[in-house]
Amino acid sequence: MGEATPLWAPIALLGALCALGLAAAVLDAVLSGLPTASHPGDAVESPLRSGPLSAAGDPFREAARLLVQQRRRTSLADTLLVRVGVCGLLVVAVLAGVVLPLGDRPVADLAAGVVWFNAMEVGAWGALWLTGWGANSVYPLVGGYRFLAQGMAYELPHMFALITAALGAGSLRVGDVVAAQRGLWFAVWMPVAFAVYLVSALAMAFWGPMRGPVGPDIAGGVRAELSGPDRLLFQAGRHLLLAVVAAAAVPLFLGGGAGPLLPPWLWTSLKTAAVLALLVWSGRGLPTVRMDRFMWLSWLVLIPAALAQLLVVAVVVG
């Protein structure tokens, strides 16, 4: 384990994740003010706004509104399960981050850090389904099942992409994966695994083309009945989860804190921000993928491609 983790490390992690999550929300709001290919009319829809810049304040206004909003209740809701789900989403996102090094070392330097990260991500399945189930309302339930039904189609390519990076380094420790990329970033010599990681990470964070569980076609899905502080917590958890999957791409595929001139923590932050911006943009720039199409894509394209990449890496390393 080496020397003890300094006290500021968990605080720095929380601060960094919150800043990234907030940045994602602001960028998303700004993008929503711009016309895009899939939503050409979005810019016209909100006449109160003067432009994308004033949209940047929307997440703050929304957070303040939710803080004072009174809770809306549904009949016969399972409040305990909803609370576990809403808080759980936030908790697993933060816990997934503890194995990611911000500078030189992570908060918890686990020997099986990659497995820890994946286990915490999968915890988001439970959180999402509980939130959808507990409300005793049809649209949240549909949203929860949308996620769960795709669970394996999301998780298997994701797991193979993570394993490929670990295999390239010969270790499940995130720090070793970073160290193995001193010569060449994994994103460069295992591009298929990197691409599969990005797609499946978007899916695990139910963002972008895989926003089905919270899609507008089912009135917001899982979060349809959430109001007030519950909704604020859920939204925060969702943004933190996106931030953490973006942050994981950096030590796993983009060389971690390596880079000229700047200190490691700054490089890590810059790379994370770039990946996060790409993921957030995909939410506005790309249409939602229909569930059966993603099923087809995942099982017939992503999994075989990830396996082929795994084989190539195994041959090169072995």
Per DSSP, 5 falls in state: P
Contact 104, 257 (CB under 8 A): yes
Nearer to other proteins, 1 or 48 (CB): 1
Task: Note the residue count of the chain.
Answer: 318
Nearer to other proteins, 125 or 267 (CB): 125
Q: How near is the Cβ of 292 to other proteins at its closest, in Å?
A: 6
Q: How near is the Cβ of 135 to other proteins at its closest, in Å?
A: 10
Chain residues in the site for other proteins (CB under 8 A): 76, 78, 80-81, 84, 110-112, 115-116, 118-119, 122-123, 125-126, 129-130, 133-134, 136, 145, 148-149, 151-152, 155, 172, 292-293, 295-297, 299-300, 303-304, 307
Q: How near is the Cβ of 225 to other proteins at its closest, in Å?
A: 14
Q: How near is the Cβ of 4 to other proteins at its closest, in Å?
A: 14
Q: How near is the Cβ of 296 to other proteins at its closest, in Å?
A: 4
Per DSSP, 43 falls in state: H
Nearer to other proteins, 145 or 185 (CB): 145
Residues 6+ positions from 261 with CB-CB distance below 8 Å:
none
Nearer to other proteins, 31 or 303 (CB): 303
H helix runs in the chain, sequence order: 8-32, 42-45, 52-55, 58-68, 79-97, 113-134, 138-149, 151-169, 174-179, 186-189, 191-204, 228-253, 264-285, 291-297, 303-317
Nearer to other proteins, 128 or 240 (CB): 128
Contact 97, 121 (CB under 8 A): no
